[in-house]
Structure 1
Amino acid sequence: MVLYQFGTIEIDTVNFRLTNNGDECAVEPQVFDLIVYLIKHRDRVLTRDEIFDDVWQGRHVSDTSLSNHIKSARRVLEDTAQQQLIIKTVRGRGYQFVAKIQERPRPSRVIPKPKKSNTVLFIATIASLLTIIVFLVLNPQSLNQQNEYVASQHFETIAVLPLINVSPNTEIDFLGLALTDQIIGRLNYIEQFSVRPSALIRQFNDTSQSPVEIGKALNVDYILSGNYLKHENKIRLNIEFINVSTNGLIWREDVDLDYVNIFELQDAVAKITYDKFNLEQEENPTSKSTDLTPTHPAAYEYYLRSIAYPLTEKGDALAIAMLEQSIALEDSFAPAYAELGIRVHQLSAHGIQGKQSSDEAEAYLFKALALNPHSLNALANLTVLYTDTGALLKALETSQRMLEINPNYADAYFSLGYVYRYAGMLDSSIQMMEKALSIDSTNKKFRSAGVSYYSVGRYEEAHRIFDLDAGTAFTLSWHAILYHRQDEIERAVEYFDQAISAAPDGYFALDSKAYKLAMLGKKNEGLRAVKRLENTLITDSEARYFWALYYSAMGDRDNSIRIMKEVVEAGYYNLPAFNSDPFLDFIRDDPEFVKIMSIAHKGREAFKTAAKTLK
């Protein structure tokens, strides 16, 4: 459990990260594992057979594949086959790591890959059991409630903390996060529960905070925590269910599981569930969840790594590398496709990497839904994609599908609020966003709700909501925009500069530069900055709308009118924002702009009419 450092390179084996001068580098998981293996055994030359056995765990790999991985390792470490200052090839024998290394111990534990395939069955078994235990404690009532965009009257908010391995067998360390992810995934389908997402929970994998402190930070009613111990063919699971507000232990349960006869255990647990809820088997709410754990343990680990990366351009790129590796090992795991779909769309809609496309993202999401038609994550991400690309009625229909599955699913209300904002129905948008935030007030994804408040001039509330994802270029840029609208120009400049520094190569740095120059009246520089934005091939209509603002602010009537027409024809009808933004004053009385506003109004009314038929 160490952190390796040489030159400007730092390798964190706990969090699977490689940085150069503090900047995280995208590195494929197998390449990362190869680098760490070479470092650990740097005292000698490693043969190809040793590398195949230990890094690839005996799977068939060609010599060419190993050579390509060595080449990739050298590239990320800024080494070459000619120099060989870091990884040396010993002809006829193998490879050796030759750079001088500094080691620093890490207090947190490594999550290594499991080597036994039956750990996958163990994950599914324990996840099912823990879900049932939560059911038995909370004892929800009937699951068949009607929904009219109104959340159920009563639901419990829960955070499931990473379980801790207390046995000396470190090969099953990774199950702590794996089990947590499985439990959360299953609980998402129970409408009486609102469960904090896996990506938010992972930050508490190695922490000194108490469960109650974590529960208060996550604003939940209950915390589920515990540990597990494996001995021979037995598993002992110790779990606690805690009331956060009273710091009271509701129950503690020690469960002994027969590791061999797990299918009979699953059947028994299922029967308890049906009896407790007085349900027939086909009515069991968890039957909607078919997101089975991959049969390949490494595929699941790569997926778990991916969801830990932040919603930034660099984070999306790193997550995509992990997910592609996961799918290469296991091509039938719906959550991996769902996560890959939204990460690709993020880069397509808001990033600057033109290789990614909305069509590609949509294909991944459709694949996830083909594997699991009830995948809430895939449906939520598909709604965002449809909205960004102007397919508002499809987005609305997809949001409704989520509410049919779970009327208390926070992402469904956020998605509705997102659709309504693009449709120009800001009152409805804010109503839905507030419902989402009342269910899950800590979800970083909901930061976008701040744009709805901004659109109607509720700036202080927008500031608060953007801080769900504080410190990112996205949030810093939006704070700057809000300060400009509040006539605090110096603070706006300060925050634009911070946004640019936070991700200097990203889209929000370019956008911040353009807004800042337009705000300061620097026409020539500003127009060049907007042209650079147009070269990014962004697909999100809301992001493109801001280009029209910048052109108008700098007196470029033709380009401003052109962009406004494009975004409205693409399905962006945010009339409250159009009517109030001072940047548009230059073209507000232009006959072409008036015509475009009329088109936006008709589009909004047509959406309202069509939306009524979907309810």
Structure 2
Amino acid sequence: MRYRVNDFEIDTNAYSIKHRDMPIAVEPKVFDVIVYLIVNRDRVVTRQAFFDAIWTGLAVSDATLSNHIKFARTALHDDGQRQAVIKTIHGRGYQFVAPVTEIPDPPTNNPVLPEQTAPGGSQANSVHSRFNRFVFAAITLLTLAVLMLFIWQINGGITPSESESSESGVSTAADKSIAILPFTYASDTAEDAFFSDGMHSALLAQIAAYPALKTIAKGSVAHYDPATADVKAVGTTLSVATVLLGEVKRAGQQIRVDVQLIDTANARQLWAGTYTRALTAENIFIIQQAISLDIAKALNLALTAKQNSQHQHFPTQNLAALGYYFQGKSLANQGTTQDNTKAIEYLEQAIKADPSFALAYAELARLELNQIHWAGKPVEQQVRIASPLIERALALQPTLGEAFVALGVLHVFKQRFGDAETAFTQALDIIPGNVTALSEYGNLLLWKLRRIEQAEAVFAKAVAISPLDPLLKTQWVSALIDAGRFVQARMIIDTLIEQNPTFAPAYRSRSDYYYWLGHALPASQVALSQNLQYSPEAPFNSMIMAQVYILTGDTQKAVDWLAHSLSLAPGSDNMLLANAMIAHLTGKHGKALDMFLQLPANQHVFPVYMFDLVEVGQGLGRARDVENHYRQFFPSLFQDAVNVDASNFIPAVAVARLMINRGEYARGHALLDKCLTVVTTAPFGGWSTKESDWKTRIYLAKGEIELAARSFADYVAAGHGADSIVSSPTYAPLKDHPVFQRALSDMQNTLKNARQWLRKLEDSGEIMLPGSLNPHSQ
């Protein structure tokens, strides 16, 4: 059955919702709530009725239902104030009040089974459940593990008597998942604490190399206190069948590690082991590898020859170097600028203690590159520092996955995106469950290659491995927003803020959500102010605050925020960009052009400004300088056979304009046609590239005035606009077109309204100004 509600179509067979033929992403339970309300729209549905029909047999709180109602309203463009679709009947329940049109399914020769009715009801749930159980059983039968190929005695002399297993181990595919909780340490010394944390991280890295075993990453397991964790709850939250608990104790020249593998379904111990050795670096890795193989044995994992070979390599045999490495890794995991800097010092000591410690070189290189963002250090300087470290790591260990991760990050900063992708895929081939590799690869796909759907899939995979990592979820949200999946993005954002109200990146995600969904600039600035309240030292966020004021035409506030970003990181590469933007906004166009032309390619973070260089350069008689800039950074765009895609179409439009301006009409128009193909093929550069009205700009460059006017009207109707359009020479050919004039008037009214709201919110303290303090923080 299909139902039409306003401009929405709900298809219970396809389990989908479309708005004007565009799919709307919703969680399965939210879909069930919507359909159940529609099916029972002739009555008030009580909370208990929802629990019985949607969450049969499960203990669910009222808050869970309230959240699902909220998300259902959001999906259907309703809210708790209007209640035009779903009405709250206080004290009783909810009722679907919007008009519903039933659209019968087309006739079919196949009989309809009785269970295929009412997706919101218990019969549909039972069909869905039985289907899932069928698939589950099929997968289980196809993926039964073979017996272990190794002899236990290869592990440094650790004998079978050192571990004990229950009679029936874990054997099904569904059970091959594990959360290794942080190890406890048996003393209160800080040295034991970092040593325990280091061994835990090393074991996680080892186990994550088993592709047949789903291993939850450190960013999620670190949330648990192993002394108080409920293993059943851990299993439910992280979707794992087993949990490993461990304790590390150093006593004199001995180290002892106790571990136990627990079945999360019944809290039954599957296996336990005790490993005691003389305290040497080699023995630490022998213990780690022995635990890894014991886990593989208990879970009936069949290891490949490549995975076997990884067990034969010891990263270092220098105990002091290993201690420094563990301390550096422990600090790096804290995720702050200060800790990142201190971690670098420890890793430098690790390399000094053991110049052949490849893993330390790789980690040091990655942290040095992190300093570009963490500490605002210049890209060229950090690339120069990291390059020899990565070369050394790969020379020492050519198959080191962590070194390929660092190499990928290095290539990103060097603008070698193809090489970066190759490095990340090599890393994931070696360490497939490494969340850092997945995260960095996802960011490459999203921000540089602009392959939005692929980026979203990579982040979704990473979140499945580390479901409690909030920063990873904000990266996933960025991909969802760029793909236009706003409902799913909003659900994640709201949950993040509910779980941690002081987590600054979640407010940046909320700001992006409001900004791109409908260009709700005041709401976006409120959320970004909350981000700055909890993370006031992030210079780039101050530049984003400036961007909104640029759009609304409040030049002075934009300049103030740019100046504030400069005060936060005066030596960063962003300094030149911020100064160039200030000069451009204050009418010093020659100075602005000089600065823009000095920017390295990695600083083209606001591409519309680089596009505007063509206009500025021509006005100043410096078109040749602009062309040389593009030839330096985008030489392929001057070749007839160039491939134009979402990653380079913006400079391609600029280069095409340069060609046309110097009389190369055929080449310029051919390049513009390629650009037009990109921007008219969803999702092209992602939802965020709609802001700059690229389709209209391309039509104008091609001289197609009628199409440009219609395109601009669509741009304004979607809620977008920029004050600079009013006086822009680019739009001058449209100034007398009636369609453009009407749309321009609508845009100006929208921006005027936004300015008024921004001032009200500034006066109330909900939007920060440079140097101010949000009153909510007091």
TM (norm. structure 2) is 0.41
| Greater relative CO (CA pairs within 8 A, separation 6+) | 1
